[in-house]
Chain A
Amino acid sequence: MPEAPVVGIDLGTTNSLVAYMEADQPVVIPGVDGSNLVPSVVALEPLPKEGGRPTVSVGNSARKVLIESPERVIYSVKRLMGRDLDEVKNELKLFPFRLAEDATEGEVPRLQLGELRFTPPEISAYVLRQLKRNAERFFGVEVKQAVITVPAYFNDAERQATKDAGRMAGLQVLRLVNEPTAAALAYGLDRAKAGTIAVYDFGGGTFDISILKLNDGIFEVQSTNGDTHLGGDDIDNLLLTVALDEIQSEHGINLRQHPGAVQALRKSAIDAKIRLSTEPSASFDVELPNGDRYQREIPREVYIQLIEPILARTAGPCKQAMADAGVTPEQIDEVVLVGGSTRIPAVRALVDSLFKLGARGKKCHTDLNPDEVVAMGAAVQAGILSGSSKTTDDLLLLDVTPLSLGIEALGGVTAKIIQRNSTIPASAVEYFTTGVDGQTNVAIHVVQGERELADDCRSLARFDLKGIPPMTAGLPRIEVRFLIDADGILKVTAREQRSGKEAEIEVKATYGLTDEQVETMILDSYDHAEEDFAKRLLIESRNEGLNLLNAVDRGAQTPAWALLTTAERTAIGEARNHLLEVAKGYEIKAISEAMTALDKATRRFAEMMMDSAVSTAIRGKTMEAAGEELAEAVTAPHAFSPAEFK
C-alpha cells in the first residue's frame, strides 16, 4: 500500500475540514456529501434494540437530528475542551446538552448524549475520525498522521485535550498549529515576501489576532492575543435570546422548555445572521408550539447595534497584540481575514478602522475562502513536517506561547517564568527546596495567565515532586525544568541536585485525562487491523458509489432531467453505467475515479434540480448533496449518511 500523506485538519467550533498538499498546492478533501465542510456535530443514533454497538453519526446527518431529538446531539464541543467542571457548567447554560449526572470535581467532565456519556475530547475524536475517513476514501489508503489546528489563544489544557482527541481518533498528531498562523502560511505560500502581517481570525467560537513578520520563508510570530470564548456562536445566542424573550412577552410561551423548538429558532437566528451580511434586513418566521407564529423583521441597522458590543470585544486584543509586537497600525503591511464571522460587513469595517486600512489605501485580504484557509495552512504545515513538497521546503514557522507561564509563589502571587509571546519551544529553570526536616514531597502550582494573583490565572496543574531524599529543611536543591514544546504544551522535569537522584523525582500533573484513560477511549481500536482496513475501504467506496447512483437515478425522474441537452444526458448515462460496472469490482481507485467523473457530469444537473432561490444559496453543491435535498423533499430517509462499520 502506498503511504498516505500527512493531512492538515481544521477542527473548528462549527465546521471541520481536512486538507493535504497536492504537489505544491493545499487542497481541501470533500466529504461524502461533496461538501468541504463537515459540521462539528455529533449525534447518537437510537440504540439497536437487539444490542450491539451504538452508532454515532457526524456532520450533516448529525445536524438533522438536532431538531427532532436535541438530547442526542452535541455541537460546539470545542468550547468545552480542556475545561473543568465549573467552566463547563457555566458554558452549558447556552446549549441544549447536559452534563452527566455523575460528574465529579477534579475529573474531566462528561456530557450526556442520549443514553451514553462522553468527555469533550471523545466527541471531538468522532469528528476527527470522520475527517480521517473522508481522507482515507479520497486516498484509498489509511491515514495515520495529522497536523491539527487550535486557536492561538488556547491554553495548555485545551491543547492537550485536542491532542488526546487526535489520539482517540487513531491519529498521530505531529503538530498542533495555531489557526491564525496556519492561515498566514496558506496566504504566504505564493507570496514569499517580507513584511508584517496581522491575521484577524473570528470564527464560530473563538477569536484570535496574531502579528507575524515574514522574512525569506520564515514566518515569525511576534505576538498573539484573543478570546477563546468569542465568536459567531455569541451572535447566534444573542439573536436567540432576543427572540426567546420576545416570544415570552408577546405570546406568553416559555420556549426554553421546548429544546426542539429552541433549536429550530436557533437555526432561524443563524439564517438571519447570514442573510444580514448581504441584505438590508432579515426576518424570523417560526411556528410556536401553540400554533401561533412568531414573526419578526430585523433591519440591518438594528442588527449592527445589537452585535456591536460583541464585535467591540475583538478590539482590545488587537491593540494589545500590536503593543506586544511593538508595532503601530501603520506598520502593519497586510491584514488577513479568517473565519466565517469575518463575512459580516460590520466586522470588516471594524478591522478597517483598527488597522487604519482605508486611510492608507489598503484593504483586508479575503482572497482565500475564510472557511477553508486554516485547513489549507494546516496542510502546508503537514507538508513542511513530512518534507514531501518542494514548495514547503524553505518554509519555517516560529510560533509563540499566547499566555505567560507562572508558578504560585509565597502569598499566592504569580511568579512568571516564561513570558507570553515567547517563541516556542521555550524553557525556564527554577529551583525549589523543602521547608521541613525530612520532607520528601514538594508541590508546585503552575498557572497560565497575566494576572498578579495565581488564583486569577488559569490553574494548569499542581505538580507533586515526590521521592525527594530526606534531608534537613532547605538543603535539597530541586531543579525543575519547564519546557513549552512546539505544540505549546508544557512538559516538566525535575531533579534533586544534592543527592543526584534525578530520575526518582516523579512529576505528576493533576488535570486532564491520564494516558490510561485516553487509551481506553481510543475509538474502534478493533477496526484498525491492516487486513480489515482494505476491506473496509472497499465496502465504503462501493456504498458511496451506490449512493451516488441512487441520487442520479432519482434525479432522472425529476422535471429537471428534461431540461438537459441530449449530449449532457448521454454523458451522464455513460458515466453512470461506468460507475455501476466498476462498483462491482475490487478497485477502490477506479470506483473513486468513476464517482468523480459522474459527479462532474452531473454538476449542472444538480444545480438545476434545485429551485432558483435555493440554487444561488448553495451553488457548487454536487449531485449527492442535491440528491440529499431531493430525498428530504420526496422520500425518506435519505441514503447518504456516512457508512458505519459494525
Chain B
Amino acid sequence: MLKVIDSAVPVSCWSCSVAHNTSTLFCPHCSKIQPPATGDYFSVFSLEPKLNIDTAVLEHEFHRLSRRLHPDRYARATDSERQFALADTALLNDAYRTLKDPLRRTEYLLKLMGTEVGEGLSADGKPAKDSSRAPADLLEEVFELNMQLEEMRDARKAGEESPDIEKDLSRAKIKFETLVEAVDSELREQWSDWEAGDPSHKKIAQKHMVALLDRRRYLSNLVREVNDTLGA
C-alpha cells in the first residue's frame, strides 16, 4: 500500500468486464463498486501526493465517498459487493485518518518518498529509541525541567504542597508548547518548499521534515509528561 503505483494497470470490472485502471473505486462504465484501489492514500481522494491540504475540502470528499462506499449502502447487495464495500471503506477511513492530521500526513508522505522516519506516529506517540535524545539546543532547559519534575514527584510522594515548583512547571510547559508551535510553523514552510521544489530541493525538504518531526515528538512527550505530573 505504501508504493506509489502508476495507476495505469488495466483490469476488468467484475460486473461488466469493461477495462479500467486499478485506482478507481467505481467502474467508470457501469458504476459498480470495485475491489480496493492499489494506489496510495492520496489517490483515494484523487489527490497528488502533497502536504498543503484543505482539510475542509478533504472532509467534504470523505463524506461524499462514505455515502457511496459505506457497507450500510450494500447491506442487501451480493456477497462480493459487500466485501468490496467493507475493504474500500476501511481504505477510505485509513486514508482520511492519515491525511487529515498534519503530522501523520507528513510522516506518510515521507515514507511514501522512501525516507526513513524515526517512529510511526500511529504507534501511540510513545518515545522512539532515537527521539529520547534531547535536541542539542535544548539540553540545558530539558535538564532543568527534569529536575523540577523529579522534585514535584518527590513532593507528591511525601504528600507536600509545592506551589513554587508547580509554578515553575507551568511556566516551562508554556515555553515548550510555544516551541511545539514553532516547529509546526517551520514544518508548514517545509511543506511549501517541498511542493515548489525540484527533486533535489524535495530531498532537502524531506530531511528537514524528518528532523522537525523528531523534534516535535520529543517536545510533545515533554509537554505530556509535565501535564501528567501536574495533573496527578
Q: Does B70 contact A (CB under 8 A)?
A: yes
B residues 172-209 touching A (CB-CB < 8 Å): none
- How many chain B residues sit at the interface, stated as a range, is 20 to 34
> Is A422 a contact partner of B124 (Cβ separation < 8 A)?
no
The CA of A329 and the CA of B71, in the complex, are separated in Å by 33
Kindly list chain B residues whose C-beta atoms are within 8 Å of the C-beta of A485. 71, 86
Alpha-carbon gap, A416 to B120, bound state (A) = 10
Confirm or deny: A439 has a beta carbon within 8 angstroms of a beta carbon on chain B.
Answer: no
Query: Quick check: A384 and B124 within 8 Å, CB to CB?
Result: no
Known: A218-B66, A396-B70, A425-B89. A386 touches B76 (CB 8 A): yes
Interface size class of chain A, counting residues whose CB lies under 8 Å from the partner chain: 20 to 34
**Which of A174, A216, A426 touches B97 (beta carbons < 8 Å)?**
A426
Report the bound CA distance from A381 to B86 in whole Å: 17
The distance in angstroms between the C-alpha atoms of A381 and B66, with both chains bound, is 16
Q: When the two chains form their complex, are residues A218 and B63 in contact, meaning their CB atoms are under 8 A apart?
A: yes
Contact A174 B94 (CB under 8 A): no
Indicate which residue in A220, A404, A417, A483 contacts B90 across the interface (CB closer than 8 Å). Answer: A483
Contact A425 B93, beta carbon cutoff 8 Å? yes
Contacts A416-B124, A419-B122 given; indicate if A425 touches B71 (C-beta within 8 A).
yes
The yes or no answer to A591 lying at the interface (CB within 8 A) is no
Encode A106-130 as 1/0 by CB contact (under 8 A) with B: 0000000000000000000000000
B71 adjacent to A423 (CB under 8 Å): no
The CA of A429 and the CA of B87, in the complex, are separated in Å by: 13
Interface string of A57-88 (1 = CB under 8 A from B): 00000000000000000000000000000000
> Which of B67, B75, B86, B122 contacts A425 (CB under 8 A)?
B86
Instruction: Determine how close the nearest CB of chain A comes to the CB of B85; give it in whole angstroms.
Output: 9
Let me know if B70 and A427 touch, CB within 8 A. Answer: no
**Would you give the shortest CB distance from B69 to chain A, in whole angstroms?**
10
With contacts A175-B75, A429-B1 known, is A398 near B124, CB below 8 A?
no
B91 within 8 A of A: yes
Is B136 positioned at the interface, with any CB of A under 8 Å from its CB?
no
How many angstroms between the C-alpha atoms of A569 and B97 in the bound complex?
Answer: 66
Which residues 57-92 of B have a CB within 8 angstroms of A?
63, 66-67, 70-72, 75-76, 86-87, 89-91
> Is A288 among interface residues, defined by CB-CB distance under 8 A?
no
Instruction: Write out the residue numbers on chain A whose beta carbons fall within 8 Å of the beta carbon of B138.
Output: none
Are B94 and A387 touching (Cβ within 8 A)?
Answer: no
Asked if A426 meets B90 with Cβ closer than 8 Å, knowing A216-B63, A398-B66, the reply is yes
Residue of A nearest to B1 (CB): A429
- A344 on the interface (CB 8 Å rule)? no
B158 at the interface (CB under 8 A from A): no
From known contacts A174-B75, A416-B124, A486-B71, infer whether A424 and B93 are also in contact, taking CB-CB under 8 Å.
yes
In the complex, which residues of chain A have a beta carbon less than 8 angstroms from the beta carbon of B96?
A: 423
Give the contacts of A376-418 with B (CB-CB under 8 A). 381, 384-387, 396-398, 404, 415-417
B123 interface residue, CB < 8 Å from A? yes
CB nearest neighbor in A for B96: A423
Assuming A218-B63, A483-B86, is B94 touching A416 (CB within 8 A)? no
Which residues of B lie under 8 Å from residue A416 when comparing CB positions? 122-124
B77 to chain A, nearest CB (A): 11
Which residues of chain B (85-112) have a CB below 8 Å from chain A? Answer: 86-87, 89-91, 93-94, 96-97
Given A215-B63, A396-B72, decide whether A423 and B93 contact each other with a Cβ distance below 8 A: yes
Q: Is the CB of A427 within 8 A of B91?
A: yes
Q: Are A486 and B94 closer than 8 Å at their CB atoms?
A: no
Chain B residues whose CB sits within 8 angstroms of the CB of A386 once the complex forms:
75-76
9 A-B contact pairs sorted by A residue (CB < 8 Å): A215-B63, A218-B63, A381-B72, A423-B96, A423-B97, A425-B71, A425-B86, A427-B87, A452-B126
15 additional contacts, CB 8 Å, given A416-B122, A425-B90, A427-B94?
A218-B63, A218-B66, A218-B67, A387-B76, A396-B72, A422-B93, A424-B93, A425-B87, A425-B89, A426-B90, A427-B91, A428-B94, A429-B1, A483-B86, A483-B87
List residues of A whose CB falls within 8 A of some B CB: 174-175, 215-216, 218, 220, 381, 384-387, 396-398, 404, 415-417, 419, 422-429, 452, 483-486
